[in-house]
Amino acid sequence: MLDTEPSLSKSLFSHIDFTNGAVAAVSGGSDSTALLLLLKTHLDLTAPATRLLAVTIDHGLRPDAAAEAQAVASLCAERGIPHRILAWSGSKPSTGLPAAAREARYRLLAEAARAEGIGLILTGHTADDQAETVLMRQTRDGVGGDEARGLAGMAPATLYDWRCWIARPLLATRREMLRDYLRRRHVGWAEDPTNEDATFERPRIRAALAGGGDTARADDAMALSARAAAERVELGHIAAGLIRDFASQPVTGLVCLAPGFLASGEDRAAIYALRILLATIGGLAFLPEQARGEALFCRLRGGFLCATLSRTVVDFRRAGIFLHREARGLPSPAALVDGALWDGRRKITMSDSHGALLIAPLGAVAAAKRATQEGDTPASLVRAALAMEPALWVDGENQGLAADSPTSRIMEVLPVVGPFARFLPSFDLAPAHAVAELIGAAAVPPLPFSGHTAG
C-alpha cells in the first residue's frame, strides 16, 4: 500500500538541506513528475518560502519533445511552480549520443541553478534506474573490476563542476510506486519512445528486467550496488588517511609520498590513492587502469625507479616518491578565458578581461632561475615541476607563474582535483577532500544532506 503523500514526501526529502533552494529536473516522465509533486508537498509543509525552480531540458532529438516540455510548463503553472525550458542547441554527435545528452543536460541544469543562486539540483532517478545501471556495468566489467567502483551505481549525490550538488532522493523508490502515486492524483506523464529503442544499451537492459516476470534480478542488482557502495566509501576513507599521512607538496605541482606509503599494510587503498594522485597531477579526468596502478605499485616496492603513467612522472628516490607533470603534451599558448580548465589541472577565474595576456607553461629556463632546494627535495625535481606550471606571457615575454602575477587582482588560477573536477560522486568525498587539501584546491562544498560535511 502506498504511503500517504505527506509521509512519503517526508521520508524522501527530510534529510535534504533546502536552505538555498532547489532546482528540480523534470522531463515530463513519470519519475520526474512524481519527484516534483512530492517535493512541492514537502516544501509546502515544512519550508514554504524555499525557492523551487522546475527545469525541463529539450534535447531537440524528438518531434514530441517541445510539446512534452510545454505540458510540464502547464503542470507547473497550475501548481504555482516557477518553470523554465532550456534547449540543447547545436550539432549532435553521431555516436555516444546518450552520454553527450546527459552531459548537456547537467550543464544546462547547473547553469539554471547558478543563475538563481541555487546550489542543489534534484533528479528523478529511481531504484529501477539504479538496477539498470549496475547490470550494465556488471555486463561490461564483471563483479571484480576496478575495486567494484562502477558496481556501486549512481551515488545519492554528485558534485557537478565542484560547486553544484545533484541529489537523487528516489534511488531507493521503485518506478511503479511513483506511478501509483500519480494515478491516485490523476496526473499523467509522457512516455519517451527512446526508452524502448533497443539501439541503446539501457533500453535493452530495461526490457530484460521487465521480461523476467518478477523483481528478483533487480533486487539482486540493488543489493550488489549497496555492498559495492559501502566498500567504495570505506576504501576511500582509508585512501584519504594515507594521503594525509604520507603525502606532501614541497612546491606547487610536485607531490611527495613518504616511502612508508608503500608499507602501510593497506595495499588496495594505497593503490587507489596513487591512482587518484596520478590523475590529478597529470590533469586527467579518469583514473589510470586498476591493473596499471597495481603494476606500478609493485615496481615501486621493488626499489628506486623513474616511470611515467597518466601524464605523470613517478620518480622514486631516497627522499621519497615524487610525482610531477611530464613535459609532453602540454597546452600551447592561449588567451585567458574565464572558467577555462588549463591542462586539466588549473581552473582560471577572471573578474575582468585582459586580452594582451596569454597562458602557457613556465618552461625550463624560467623554472631554473627560481628553483631552489626545498628541504630534502632535489632542486632538479623542483625545476621539473615548476616548468610545467602555468605562466603568463605578454608579446612573447614570460611574466612568471600565473599564481604570482600582479594581475592576481583580476584573475585566479587554482589547482583542481582532475578526476573529480567535473563529477564527484559522494562515494568519493573523502579522498577528493584529502587531495584538495594537499594541492591547495578549493574546498569541497558541504553535502546537501542534513548533518553531513565534505570529506
Query: Which contacts (CB < 8 Å, 24+ apart) does range 135-142 have?
Result: 135/205, 135/208, 135/209, 135/217, 135/221, 136/201, 136/202, 136/205, 138/221, 138/224, 139/205
Average pLDDT over every residue of 291-297? 97
Residue of higher predicted confidence among 65 and 139:
65
Long-range contacts of 76-81 (CB under 8 A, 24+ apart): 76/26, 76/36, 79/37, 79/40, 81/36, 81/40, 81/52, 81/53, 81/54
pLDDT computed for residue 258 by the predictor:
97
What does the alpha-carbon distance between residue 31 and residue 189 come to, in Å, rounded to a whole number?
9
Check whether residue 319 and residue 346 sit in a common domain. Answer: no
Q: Is the dihedral of CA 355, 360, 364, 367 positive or negative?
A: positive
Question: Residue 208 sits in a domain of what CATH number?
Answer: 3.40.50.620
Residue 284 lies in a domain: yes
The answer to whether residues 106 and 36 belong to one domain is yes
Does the pLDDT at position 214 exceed 60?
A: no
Range of the domain at 291: 234-326+420-439
Pair (196, 100) in one structural domain: yes
- Please say if the pLDDT value at position 375 is more than 80: no
pLDDT of 421 reads 96
Give the rounded percent of residues in the chain with a pLDDT score beyond 90: 69
Residue 43: inside a domain, yes or no?
yes
Residues 176 and 291 in one domain: no
Q: Over the Cα atoms of the chain, what is R_g?
A: 24
136 band by pLDDT with thresholds 50, 70 and 90: confident
Residues linked to residue 393 through DSSP beta bridges, in sequence order:
358, 398
Does residue 151 belong to any structural domain of this protein?
A: no
For residues 112 and 23, state if they share a domain: yes
| Average pLDDT of the residues of the chain | 89
Residue with cell 613517478: 314
* Residue 224 forms part of a structural domain: no
Residues 283 and 432 in one domain: yes
Using an 8 Å Cβ cutoff, are 105 and 32 in contact?
A: no
Amino acid (1-letter code) at residue 338: D
pLDDT at 130 over 70: yes
How many folded domains does the chain comprise? 3
Residue 188 is predicted with a pLDDT of: 95
More confident residue, 416 or 199: 416
Q: With H, G, I as helix, E, B as strand and everything else as coil, classify residue 49.
A: coil
Do 268 and 382 fall into the same domain?
A: no
Question: What is the reported pTM?
Answer: 0.91
Q: Do 273 and 385 lie in a common domain?
A: no
pLDDT score of 169 more than 70? yes
Give the model's confidence band at 6: pLDDT under 50 very low, under 70 low, under 90 confident, else very high. Answer: confident
Q: Is the domain of 307 the same as that of 343? A: no
38 and 174 belong to one structural domain: yes
146 pLDDT above the threshold of 90: no
Q: Are residues 194 and 339 in the same domain?
A: no
If one compares 425 and 338, the residue with the highest pLDDT of the two is 425
Confirm if 209 and 132 have CB atoms less than 8 A apart: yes
pLDDT at 11: 93
Q: CA dihedral defined by 331, 334, 338, 343, rounded to 10 degrees?
A: 0
In a domain, 152, yes or no: no
254 part of a folded domain? yes
Of how many residues is the chain composed? 455
138 in a domain, yes or no?
no
Same domain, 198 and 307: no
